[in-house]
Structure 1
């Protein structure tokens, strides 16, 4: 029995080259984050990571995947060490690097097996590249669910938020955009290894003239792939350039909203030296200043947005705070959408958003749907307490997961006309299901309330704003990203800044924000697009593994 076994299947990087290349690729990928914003390094980094595991032995692929994950995640997540030290940073970094390890194993298995595919080189290249892009997408999806609800941070799409490619997210969604980027990196790598494999096969065929007949696969590979790797790189770059001119998907504009978003520059971090009421007072004072200025200029206000935790603990049971906020809302004639930690009658706690008018509580509430494990609740508390009791005891309250709709009704302006605002509290903004639910429930604008005080002047808040910017483009909704300390910005549905504040200043943004209606293709079909890419990755892994098993069986029979 004969199958197409090309000698090129053995072409792979040596161990001593693969591991450093993988680590370098992960580090270069991290250079695309906002700290340096060298976004072209994204493509170089991904290509290096892919090359390091391409057709690798599984042991080397696992080490290379782990090296790539460590090279990327540990620098990117360095903001975790600011107040909490190295333990949470190491823990999360190891978990995220483990996903890269698994991805490395999957890509190695798929590319080794698919190298045996009985097809023309161009078709084999296409199949392998699509499978690899699908496996990268699969890894991103899995890390967004496991463990403890996942951490969908550091996806490839995030790094192009401020580039011409960002408009694609309105058509493809986050996963679709990540897959396109991964595909653009996989094609040149696939061409390179196909050429190397073909050259080796040709050399082996010429060195064995005495053989009665060469194996079919060997003969098929004797013809070196005609596409130079440089041409593949240029072709991919041209394709990306053409994609970069694709406009943002249109949705219908129904009106506008005069928004004031207040950054109180409050001492809102875990270890900040403050007294009860300081955070609230900072936002009351900053709001009063901007309101006085707008009144002097004859400007109107439709709605005021405060950050996460801006009204501190249990606002409905704090009579003084209730009176102060209601008086301010009454003075402006505009409701205040604010954040407060609430305790329900059953004793459970939620990280919530409320709407306060001149009459007090408007009876509108949203509870955070994605509380952060190890920060807003402690999973497996006894187990982790035995490992790090001091850190675990910092998490005193266990916030429950919200079940209310993330799109709330807000009475705006003096007419009390009601608009629907999508609410995303802090890390809510990074989850795709949150975006889909907000739009499905009728959100016309998104208020992304966050508290970044625990991360100081690190790159965390800028990384989060990248995601919020893409979320605006994906949903076709303006996003009011307001933080206690920054980075705060109001982002238009096409990704432009309508207003922005300097971090660590007490100030307010004022902008006319468009109200939108309808679904972008990303919201309507994004889950299906993601599913197709995952299916391609899974099919490539299964098919490649089957071809490898078949090749080994035939080799044993031939022996």
Structure 2
């Protein structure tokens, strides 16, 4: 494809990929977006492929994470976008390398159908490989903007419970790759060119059939009545508030909920407050601790609260604790969770001296150094059924596959996803995070209580549908009966293996492409 066609098409594909995500949420656009991006990369020259990757990545990432500019301005947004776009550029180069190189191998040149299969599988593997590496490096990674995320409310969402996030991304990409490769292979037309469409037709048929696959169900043994509180607090980094305002907002909203429950002669088994709702050092504040204890006693239910805790060494943790009528649930060691994935440049500052020399004003905003949590990812919560194991994910914890795997392995029966989205205002960030939480519910087979200080908050069933919701920037509470689930879905049992297999396929395709290009260069040199 000529560069003057490839680059605009890639940019259009990137833009459509953003439109497929919330808030626009036109999920069918994921197919033309991936098709256009792959077409721009397919068997492309290295320079053009990288330029197309730059166009696609920029058109996607710059609008997709524009919520970073709300309070912090353009520098963090441009910095993160640059890293994410760089991954797209590298993916474009690798895709072009592999598809071009495999095509030169004599065995595949004589077998167009197998050529297309090899190219399509390699392209999907490279895509999964890019998503995987992007999710772990640098500084712990940023597994945002994956193809699977788009499909949270689509007929294909059930697939994530069988193949995991990486597997779902791969399914979509391999189908699109088969269509792109088949379309390109018919030019110039030959008597056998039609065979190139066979893999594409098979892939599309399988994808259509996949819409009929149900969510992988797990046994549930009880129903827990959960209440979640959204205080609609001024809890952003630059919000004008006094110490204790966020805490007071959630106390008030909880009292209003209990008033309504008492009028209706109803009860709840556990109450969940969002990230930072307990503000700073709840465990060391007797007055606030007693206030929460009185609420717990009145409700006859434990309260799970987000708070910031200080360590003796001067570090801090973004934490969640379980509070009962007599204070923090005993033993204290098991009733505390510390966030496993603190956010770099927000909750801690990597390479502080280096970045301070570049943007001192922004670096100085990050005053606390949150450390990585080492506590278990589940907390026992005392209920009428005895101890219920609640998996905890604080804010961006929910986007990491490792967190989901750990929660299920440690016996989580439901997931409490506490967040504070106030720093992103009325942007798309909160609904983008909510769609990931929805997929996480389907993947793990567990109900997810996604509760935010400002919303959007929702209690999500194991099949991904909303049981109850609170719109953004409204004070309120949701109450719902959710199943307590045991066991692991196929996605949790085999998802990491599926992801690894796809990455290995991508790596093998890159190696085969390298062999093909080397052979081509050597034969060209000899001919000269």
TM-score bracket for the superposition, by shorter chain length: over 0.9
Q: Residue in 2 aligned with 1:154? A: 145
Q: 2:371 aligns with which of 386, 397, 400?
A: 400
Q: Residue in 2 aligned with 1:141? A: 132
Question: What do residues 474-515 of structure 1 show as CA deviations (whole Å, max 9, x unaligned)?
Answer: 001100000000010000101011111111010000000100
CA distance in 2, matches of 1:548, 1:232: 24
Q: 1:61 aligns with which of 49, 52, 70?
A: 49
Q: Residue in 1 aligned with 2:103? A: 115
Q: Residue in 2 aligned with 1:185? A: 176
Q: Residue in 1 aligned with 2:523? A: 554
Task: Please list every run of 5 or more consecutive structure 1 residues that lacks an aligned counterpart in the other structure.
Answer: 1-12, 200-221
Aligned pairs, number: 521
The Cα shift of 1:53 comes to: 1.0
CA distance in 1, matches of 2:201, 2:252: 55
Q: Residue in 2 aligned with 1:20? A: 8
Q: 1:226 aligns with which of 183, 194, 211?
A: 194
- Alignment map for 1:436-447 (pairs within 5 Å): 436-447=405-416
CA distance in 2, matches of 1:50, 1:316: 53
Query: In the alignment, does 2:436 pair up with 1:467?
Result: yes
Q: Residue in 2 aligned with 1:544? A: 513
Native 8 Å contact 2:112 2:196 kept in 1: no
The Cα shift of 1:518 comes to: 0.3
CA distance in 2, matches of 1:353, 1:64: 44
CA distance in 1, matches of 2:368, 2:34: 40
The Cα shift of 1:548 comes to: 1.0
Q: Residue in 1 aligned with 2:352? A: 381
Query: In the alignment, does 2:60 pair up with 1:92?
Result: no
Native 8 Å contact 2:113 2:199 kept in 1: no
SS in 2 for 1:115: helix
Native 8 Å contact 2:342 2:370 kept in 1: yes
Question: What do residues 136-155 of structure 1 show as CA deviations (whole Å, max 9, x unaligned)?
Answer: 00000000011100000000
Query: In the alignment, does 2:483 pair up with 1:495?
Result: no
TM-score when normalising by structure 2: 0.97
Consecutive aligned runs of 4 or more in structure 1 exceeding 6 Å deviation:
231-234
CA distance in 2, matches of 1:496, 1:25: 29
CA distance in 1, matches of 2:411, 2:307: 24
Q: Residue in 2 aligned with 1:43? A: 31
The Cα shift of 1:227 comes to: 4.6
Question: What do residues 374-420 of structure 1 show as CA deviations (whole Å, max 9, x unaligned)?
Answer: 0000001111111111111111001000001101111124x7x1110
- Alignment map for 1:201-240 (pairs within 5 Å): 223-227=191-195, 236-240=203-207
- Alignment map for 1:257-272 (pairs within 5 Å): 257-272=224-239
Q: Residue in 2 aligned with 1:451? A: 420
The Cα shift of 1:18 comes to: 1.1
CA distance in 1, matches of 2:104, 2:343: 45
Q: 2:474 aligns with which of 505, 510, 513?
A: 505
The Cα shift of 1:558 comes to: 2.9
The Cα shift of 1:232 comes to: 7.2
The Cα shift of 1:236 comes to: 4.4
Question: What do residues 63-94 of structure 1 show as CA deviations (whole Å, max 9, x unaligned)?
Answer: 11111110100010011111111111101011
CA distance in 2, matches of 1:228, 1:108: 19
Q: Residue in 2 aligned with 1:330? A: 297
The Cα shift of 1:109 comes to: 0.2
CA distance in 2, matches of 1:546, 1:51: 23
SS in 1 for 2:291: helix
SS in 2 for 1:246: coil
CA distance in 2, matches of 1:445, 1:373: 28
Q: 2:89 aligns with which of 97, 101, 104?
A: 101
SS in 2 for 1:226: helix
Native 8 Å contact 2:451 2:457 kept in 1: yes
The Cα shift of 1:241 comes to: 1.9
Q: Residue in 1 aligned with 2:454? A: 485
The Cα shift of 1:251 comes to: 0.8
SS in 1 for 2:71: helix
Task: Please list every run of 5 or more consecutive structure 2 residues that lacks an aligned counterpart in the other structure.
Answer: none
Distance 1:527 1:418, change over 3 A: same
CA distance in 1, matches of 2:186, 2:127: 23
Distance 1:532 1:232, change over 3 A: closer
Q: Residue in 1 aligned with 2:209? A: 242
Q: Residue in 2 aligned with 1:170? A: 161
SS in 2 for 1:423: strand
SS in 2 for 1:164: coil
Q: Residue in 2 aligned with 1:130? A: 121
Q: Residue in 2 aligned with 1:277? A: 244
- Alignment map for 1:290-301 (pairs within 5 Å): 290-301=257-268
Larger Rg, first or second structure (1 or 2):
1
CA distance in 1, matches of 2:139, 2:127: 21
Native 8 Å contact 2:116 2:196 kept in 1: no
Native 8 Å contact 2:228 2:478 kept in 1: yes
Question: What do residues 421-459 of structure 1 show as CA deviations (whole Å, max 9, x unaligned)?
Answer: 000000000000000000000000000000000001111
The Cα shift of 1:228 comes to: 7.7
CA distance in 2, matches of 1:111, 1:475: 35
Native 8 Å contact 2:182 2:200 kept in 1: no
Q: Residue in 1 aligned with 2:362? A: 391
Question: What do residues 283-304 of structure 1 show as CA deviations (whole Å, max 9, x unaligned)?
Answer: 0000110111011101111000
TM-score when normalising by structure 1: 0.92
Native 8 Å contact 2:116 2:199 kept in 1: no
